A = this chain, B = another copy of it.
Amino acid sequence: MNRSAVPPPVTAVMDVASAWLPERMSEVERRLAEIATAHGPELGVEAAATLDAGGKRMRPLLVLICAGDRSEERAIRAAVATELIHMATLVHDDVLDGAPVRRGRPTVVARAGRERAVGVGDLLLSRAFAELAASGDEAEVRELSSAAVALARGELAQRHDACDTSISEERYLHRCSLKTARLFESACRVGRLSAGGPGAEELAGFGREIGLAFQLLDDVLDITGPPERTGKARGTDLKDGTVTLPLILALRKDPSLAEVSLAALDAAEAERACDRIAATGVLDEVRERARGGIESAKRRLEGEHFSDAERSLLALIADGMVERYS
């Protein structure tokens, strides 16, 4: 991970847990880099670029924090596998969306074509299970294979719902739970399981809630931009036909938005649609819900299974979600 690209909450977490966390995260990075170069020239360039693009590494960070400062090899493997599953999804999502740019860089599909992108995603996903299987972390395989199933279902559900402005809030939330919240949930649960500690279910609930908040805030960002911060054009989801909570809520306040034909938007029209959604005032409502989710997530850690140090690390991560997006 390019340290200069690390977002503030991650830096804060690293500082608070400087005695053990940075070293383990570096080991996770080292292994991800090794995997990127271990499969010959066919995978090399694209996978290296994918892994190197970095991103926030929120999921492996959650695995390691939930595993705690006495965790060992199993936690590191679970962290690597979790990030590999996430990356596989990103690479394949970009194929689905035909996305030209992610995190401000060209996507694998844009650089190397659809064929390679499908193969690279398959390889990363398979490698995740190979990583866990290497020394038989059975509970982790169970947890992360279910999460990978949920991710694929979430993506299929999103495609299924494309351009359908009549979908309900519940349906949207169900999709978010499959597509995003579930891997956060699993990251927390496998972290704790890998260390054999109690409190795995509380942590899973924590992960689920911050994951959902993460998605809500991400959907707000698609409307507000700015592109130089999000690394993609405003209204990218809308142009893809993805109906998100801001649009669902805005439609209630401004029913004429239903006349916007999502599938046919050009860049300028997508920006205008974003402005109209923002004008209804729903973005604050969505942000408020996300904040409520973050607070609820933190309350799950009040029990006896957690030390003050753990609570404060996890609160930093949770609060960081909102900070990054406010």
- Give A contacts to B, CB under 8 Å: 39-43, 88-89, 92, 95-96, 114-116, 118-123, 125-127, 129-130, 132-134, 136, 138, 141-142, 145-146, 148-149, 151-153, 155-157, 159-160
Residues of B within 8 A of A127 (CB): 145, 149
| Contact A125 B123, CB 8 Å, known A42-B160, A95-B114, A136-B142 | no
- A151 pairs with B126, CB closer than 8 A: yes
Residues of B within 8 A of A129 (CB): 129, 141, 145, 148
A115 to B88, alpha carbons, bound, how many Å?
15
Residues of B within 8 A of A88 (CB): 122
- A119 pairs with B40, CB closer than 8 A: no
Residues of B within 8 A of A160 (CB): 41-42
A151 to B146, alpha carbons, bound, how many Å?
21
A155 to B114, alpha carbons, bound, how many Å?
13
A123 to B179, alpha carbons, bound, how many Å?
12
Of all chain B residues, which has the CB nearest A89? B122
Residues of B within 8 A of A142 (CB): 130, 133-134, 136
Listed from nearest, the 10 A-B pairs whose CB atoms lie closest are A126-B148, A123-B152, A129-B145, A42-B156, A122-B152, A130-B145, A133-B142, A136-B138, A119-B156, A133-B141
Of all chain B residues, which has the CB nearest A153? B39
5 more A-B residue pairs beyond the given contacts A42-B157, A89-B122, A125-B148, with a C-beta to C-beta distance below 8 A = A42-B156, A43-B156, A96-B114, A119-B159, A122-B152
Of all chain B residues, which has the CB nearest A117? B118
Task: Kindly provide the distance from the CB of A255 to the nearest chain B CB, expressed in whole angstroms.
Answer: 27
10 contacting pairs across A/B (C-beta < 8 A): A42-B156, A92-B118, A92-B119, A95-B114, A115-B159, A119-B152, A125-B148, A126-B145, A129-B129, A136-B142
A33 to B307, alpha carbons, bound, how many Å?
47
Of all chain B residues, which has the CB nearest A129? B145
A132 to B149, alpha carbons, bound, how many Å?
13
Residues of B within 8 A of A40 (CB): 153, 157
| Contact A151 B122, CB 8 Å, known A42-B156, A133-B145, A160-B42 | yes
